[in-house]
Amino acid sequence: MRGAKLLQYLILGLILVAVPLVVRSAYVMQILIMLAIYGILVLGLEIILGQTGLFSLGHAAFYGMGAYTSALLALRLGWPIWLAMIGAIVTSALFGAALGFPVLRLRGDYLAIATLGFGEIFRMVMNNWNSLTRGPMGLPGIPRPQLFGRPFDRTMYYYMVVIFFFIALFLAFHLCRSFLGRAFRAIRDDDDVAEFMGINITKYKILSFMIGGIFAGLAGSLLAHYITFISPDTFTYVDSEMLLAMVFLGGAGTVIGPVIGAVILVLFPEIFQFLVQWDMLVIGVIMVLVMIYRPQGIWAEDIRWPWARKADPALAAQGK
Amino acid sequence: MFILKIEAACKHFGGVRAVNDVSADIEENRITSIIGPNGAGKTTLFNLITGTYGLSGGDITFQGKSLNGMAPHTIHSLGVARTFQNIRLFPTMSVLDNVMIGFHSKLRPRIVDLLIPNRFRYVEQSMKERAEEALDLLDILPKAGLLAVSLPYGEQRRVEIARALVSDPALVLLDEPSAGMNVGEGKKLMQFITRIRDEMHKTVIVIEHNMRVVRSISDRIVVLDHGQKIADGDPEQVLSDARVVEAYLGKNNLMNYAQAR
């Protein structure tokens, strides 16, 4: 059993390593890089929303915070990119905590509105703080990371984001299997009872926002140094909404689900380009259908594979 | 030795005096039952002890520390654990996970423990072992892997009690533990509650409507009615008290009924 799993990982790894050697299309490589970045981003939202049940409509702001911090540190202060990345992660985490404090008393709809406001404030500040962010003109010429004096080409960048993605995936899995994930889920299920059972819900909610911020900060930084140009339009409410759709489509509360949601929603407009401006309409219909027929998301825990043996309820309860 | 002192505790919701000037000192290693008609303020009193809301007046001290103004999780870590009148298990979590949550605050895991493999294994392992012990005590260990809400009602109650006991609290508050149980289950539960006192040496406060349960397990009974304490003492004495009978059966109604005949 263990051997079989190891073999699966090995095969997956080999495929991922081989992709840039086989695929020559810059377009496909670009999509794969964006997929990995969105994967990291959505894992952060999974921890906030899927695990802790905090309805955040401002996730794009954390993403943008990471991108802007990293870009500004590299451009204005000339920090090495790796340091700028760490700076981006720390800043996003701190903003997660800063957002956590005032909105902790809010629940459900009110929290959603407050985080929505936070997202808008972020965008407005980036849009209007001309001296720092050049406002709507955006920040061009963000440096690419270098290795031995050579800037990363697309292939190198692909390897880097894929490695980061798998580190993020591993961390998310590890966290969700741990006492921390259990505490998060207890808060999601019933925060009053969680508090009676000794969980400091204030601390863990802030922590959840911080961890979500860390993932988003990393994703934002990776984005900034890849496309080398960012503007406030990259991080709007629509992006937060899209991330939310990814989590729900794939299955909130599962770790893999939101990643699958991200894959679907990133690939869809690319594959169905012939739909032109109708693609959002089709995505909307798909979302409605999924919410009606499979409200728990595509990759929910009770998923029954046609080739799987009869579902064992004991395993179903334990499996994450 | 008094483990819990309730001194003139009051809780008013607007004009409603849910708990009004209730005093009671709870002795260590005893089973105290709180009884009273619906709406008498029994659960409100539990909520005051566990910190759901602050007191409107008076004070509650546990092992000499005032609980007034403390957050529920702090009170839990001092050693007060409870169950709920309406079962409130974490619905998406397994029985084992539900009980493991109860041990979280005892272990106080730090975030860095996630990144140190040895610490991580130790934390998870000890949580799991303690939870399994607690489940074993309540004879539901075989169901550990199932979703908590998929169990029958009586077993869910037992999971709740396991979740309360896993943190090894000095004081256990049980809110209508026998509700929804059949006669056999109820009997076993009574025996178990006396075991909590005799073998685990804990103090238990029980809210209970089933008089047979109350009479057989209580060392002492406190009766509430309309937010006020109307009787307090050993079971036989309290249950024969005219005021208690009146609160339960409604003297006037009974007399009206008799007159109408």
CB contact under 8 A, B88 and A314: no
ipTM of the complex: 0.87
The confidence band for A270, taking pLDDT boundaries of 50, 70 and 90, is: confident
The pLDDT value given to residue A320 = 39
Residues in chain B with CB shorter than 8 Å from the CB of A197 are: 73, 76, 81, 101-102, 104-105, 163, 167
pLDDT tens column, A11-65? 888 888 888 888 888 888 999 999 999 999 999 999 999 999 888 888 999 999 9
Of the given ranges (A61-75, A248-262, A266-280), which has the lowest mean pLDDT? A266-280
For residues A54-78, average pLDDT: 91
Positive or negative: CA dihedral A113, A119, A124, A125: positive
Chain B nearest C-alpha distance from A185 (Å): 8
Asked if A200 is an interface residue toward chain B (Cβ–Cβ < 8 A), one would say: yes
Whether the CB-CB separation of A218 and A164 falls below 8 Å is answered with: yes
Residues of chain B found within 8 Å of residue A96, distances taken between Cβ atoms: none
Considering only CB atoms, which chain A residues are within 8 Å of B101? 182-183, 186, 194, 197, 199
Taking contacts as CB-CB distances below 8 angstroms, the residues of chain A near B142 are: none
Is pTM beyond 0.90? Reply is no
pLDDT of residue A303: 60
Output the CATH code of domain B82-168: 3.40.50.300
Q: Where in chain B is the domain with CATH 3.40.50.300?
A: 1-79+169-261, 82-168
Q: Distance (Å, rounded) from C-alpha A226 to C-alpha A246?
A: 22
- CATH code: domain B1-79+169-261 is 3.40.50.300
Give the separation between CA A94 and CA B105, rounded to whole angstroms: 25
Q: What is the pLDDT of residues B149-200, one digit of tens each?
A: 888 888 899 999 999 999 999 999 999 988 878 888 888 888 899 999 998 8
d(CA A84, CA A69): 7
Neighbours of B46 (CB within 10 A): 21
The C-alpha of B227 sits at a distance from chain A's nearest C-alpha, in angstroms, of 23
Residues A307-319: b if buried by 16+ CB within 10 A, e if exposed: eeeeeeeeebbbe
Task: Report how far residue B9's alpha carbon sits from residue A315's, in angstroms, rounded to the nearest whole number.
Answer: 47
